[in-house]
Amino acid sequence: MLQTRNGKRTARAAIKIAVDLADEKMITRDEAIMRVTPEQVDMLLHPQFGGDTKAEATEAGRRLVEKAVNASPGAAVGVAAFDADTAEKWGNEGKDVIMVRPETRPDDVHGMIAARGILTSKGGATSHAAVVARQFGTPAVCGAENLIIDAGNRLFIADVAGKTVEVREGEWLSIDGGTAEVFRGQLETRDPDFEHELELITLLEWADEIRRLGVRTNADYPADAERARRYGAEGIGLCRTEHMFFQEERLPIMQQMITAESRAHRKAALDLLLPMQRGDFEGLFRAMEGCPVIIRLLDPPLHEFLPSQHALVQELADLKVQLQHFRSISEIDSALAQVREKEDILERVESLAESNPMLGLRGDRLGIMMPEITEMQTRAILEAAVAVSKEGLDVKPEIMIPLSSHVNELTVLKKVVDEVAREVFSETGTTVEFLYGTMIELPRAALTADEMAREAEFFSFGTNDLTQTTFGMSRDDAEAKFLINYVKTGVLPTNPFQELDRGGVGKLVEMAVRLGRSTRPGMSCGICGEHGGEPNSIEFCHLVGLDYVSCSPFRVPVARLAAAQAAVNDR
């Protein structure tokens, strides 16, 4: 034999070859599992550009305007929309839209839901845009710093090989969230069809027989939970309840709750939110019948639900200018009422503003300072659990406290949760078993995990925040400012927000599992940070004895394969 080469193959062909060879007993099932890469599985789950012919590739090269952070895989084509409202409006009209923003905030979620793809000029792999996009399975490219976005004039400009390229609202864009490329114009795409990928389904069933790690999903809406279950998820590892407040009809009530002058006013707004949350949870419990569902209580700082300070100041200035031109008393009265209303909101936004919101009044601190929020959410979870169990379905709710750093926080909130549970069970005459646990996402929580486990019945590692706080790097800023350079120049071997840093963050995880189980033997420990869907990090989770990984629905099949590969390597 003079020379050999491996035959080039597409992702689909690689999977078929591996499964056929194992079926023909040419290789073992373990070998088949090791022959397919997680990236190949990922490719079959997202739309791809059809451009594997030379002509299309050249064409694509000509139109490339940027290469940035691959935030959420898949190819998307649509017209550029420069704010969430336009993206939503055009999306509802049936147009394909790419939402383009410097960065996204929670109140952009309605536009993100309607968009085919998301493009931001700031932020990285764990920015808000990236996390939300992955959860919806929406392709996203983030941190495209070469784009200068002028949202006011509804365009961006980019320097492409020394030439200035301008893209205006309504013009076509194509983005590839896997390769992080942004193109002008419309490239051809091919859609995925998991249910018909029979060889992939077979390979993943073999993977399930081998893996030790469970695979759950991060899902906030029943439709996501149903999709994740079809992809093989065995429960929900994280429901970020704040995402449920961003739907159109809920945001104003949430804002009333935040801007309430008294506890009574706040409770009145919470009473309106209660049935909505209960309905969402019922949907999740039905979709995940028989499987555990971890619901995390409200996490982000409250001002994230309010309009931005900058926008309010601008709107007030505009209103005051208009006021000078009004002549009729009724026009002036109504404008003055609007001014007063906006001034009130501005005052509240200013009072809630923090220098370091990520380290401020968020997570369980919010639940302790405003126990009525904890009460409402606990009631919604347990009433939903009771209602669904009365339908004869098996429900397994788990209530999770975010951002705890001291066991006393867990003790305080446990009292609130237990009190509401007693009320709900006595009102409904039905008791449902539930677990009370915490995220481990701050170094102090990991270092004192033996104490935390006195109150917490389970741990879930929030490695996004744990990475941020262990490195002392802002997850919203680091990737855009220096982290990409760090990786390029070898200061860091990989981006720790994408691949778990075994030497630092991993040490804390390993220690916390050991300490937690020393207090509560066999306690369930999982991961719900973005690393839970990343193959190298999944291997680490296997090695330190976590019970499961939890990731966005579209990464569930990848996680099933990666968990099996970790088990084979371990053997």
List residues with catalytic annotation. 128, 528
Which one of Mg ion, ligand PEP, none is in contact with 463 (Cβ closer than 5 to 8 A by kind)? ligand PEP
To which residue do tokens 């070859």 refer? 17
Q: Is 526 in the site for Mg ion (CB under 5 A)?
A: no
Q: Is 182 in the site for ligand PEP (CB under 6 A)?
A: no
> What is the SS3 assignment for 391?
coil
Which one of Mg ion, ligand PEP, none is in contact with 137 (Cβ closer than 5 to 8 A by kind)? none
Which one of Mg ion, ligand PEP, none is in contact with 374 (Cβ closer than 5 to 8 A by kind)? none
Q: Which part of the chain contacts ligand PEP (CB under 6 A), choosing from 67-75, 456-464, 483-491, 492-500?
A: 456-464
Q: Which part of the chain contacts ligand PEP (CB under 6 A), choosing from 139-147, 384-392, 462-470, 562-570?
A: 462-470
Helix axes 251-259, 263-287, angle to 10 degrees: 140
Q: Is 220 in the site for ligand PEP (CB under 6 A)?
A: no
Residue 367 or 462: the one with the smaller Cβ distance to Mg ion is: 462
**CB 283 → Mg ion: shortest distance, Å?**
23
Would you say the C-alpha torsion 231, 234, 235, 236 has a positive or negative sign? Answer: negative
Q: How far apart are CA 254 and CA 269, in angstroms?
A: 7
Which one of Mg ion, ligand PEP, none is in contact with 104 (Cβ closer than 5 to 8 A by kind)? none
Residue 181 or 530: the one with the smaller Cβ distance to Mg ion is: 530
Residues binding ligand PEP: what is the number (CB under 6 A)?
A: 11
To which residue do tokens 């019948």 refer? 289
Q: How far apart are CA 551 and CA 237, in angstroms?
A: 8
**Binders in 387-446 for ligand PEP, by CB under 6 A:** 441
Alpha-carbon Rg for the chain in angstroms: 25
Burial-class residue 172 by CB neighbours within 10 Å (0-12, 13-18, 19+): middle
Residue 14 or 509: the one with the smaller Cβ distance to ligand PEP is: 509
- Burial profile 100-113: b = 16 or more Cβ within 10 angstroms, e = fewer: bbbbbbbbbbbbbb
Contact 97, 191 (CB under 8 A): no
Q: How far apart are CA 453 and CA 438, in angstroms?
A: 9
Which one of ligand PEP, Mg ion, none is in contact with 178 (Cβ closer than 5 to 8 A by kind)? none
> What is the SS3 assignment for 75?
strand
Binder to ligand PEP among 217, 438, 448, 464 (CB under 6 A)? 464
Q: How far apart are CA 100 and CA 112, in angstroms?
A: 10
**CB 178 → ligand PEP: shortest distance, Å?**
21
| Cα separation values, 73 from 52, 197, 334, Å | 17, 18, 48
Would you say the C-alpha torsion 310, 316, 317, 322 has a positive or negative sign? Answer: positive
**Binders in 123-152 for ligand PEP, by CB under 6 A:** 131
Which one of ligand PEP, Mg ion, none is in contact with 529 (Cβ closer than 5 to 8 A by kind)? ligand PEP
Binder to Mg ion among 42, 103, 364, 465 (CB under 5 A)? 465
Write the single-letter amino acid at 266: R
CA dihedral in degrees (477, 478, 484, 490; nearest 10)? 170
Q: Which part of the chain contacts ligand PEP (CB under 6 A), choosing from 9-17, 40-48, 458-466, 501-509?
A: 458-466
**CB 462 → Mg ion: shortest distance, Å?**
4
Q: Is 462 in the site for Mg ion (CB under 5 A)?
A: yes
Q: How far apart are CA 376 and CA 532, in angstroms?
A: 29
**CB 465 → Mg ion: shortest distance, Å?**
4
Q: Which of 150, 107, 141, 135 is nearest to 122 (CA)?
A: 141
Residue 158 or 228: the one with the smaller Cβ distance to ligand PEP is: 228
Residue 101 or 240: the one with the smaller Cβ distance to ligand PEP is: 240
Residue 388 or 509: the one with the smaller Cβ distance to ligand PEP is: 509
Binder to ligand PEP among 116, 240, 278, 520 (CB under 6 A)? 240
Binder to ligand PEP among 176, 181, 220, 465 (CB under 6 A)? 465
Q: Which residue's beta carbon is nearest to the bound Mg ion? A: 465
Which structure tokens are listed for 381?
């979870």
Binder to ligand PEP among 91, 143, 177, 462 (CB under 6 A)? 462
Q: Is 300 in the site for Mg ion (CB under 5 A)?
A: no
Burial-class residue 431 by CB neighbours within 10 Å (0-12, 13-18, 19+): middle
Report how far Cα 431 is from the mean position of its chain's Cα atoms.
Answer: 32
Q: Is 463 in the site for ligand PEP (CB under 6 A)?
A: yes
Q: Is 299 in the site for ligand PEP (CB under 6 A)?
A: yes
Q: Which of 518, 508, 493 is nearest to 540 (CA)?
A: 508
For the chain, the helix, strand and coil percentages under 3-state DSSP, each to the nearest 5:
55, 15, 30
**CB 120 → ligand PEP: shortest distance, Å?**
17
- By CB under 6 A, name the binding residues for ligand PEP: 131, 238, 240, 299, 441, 462-465, 528-529
- The residues binding Mg ion (CB under 5 A) are 441, 462, 465
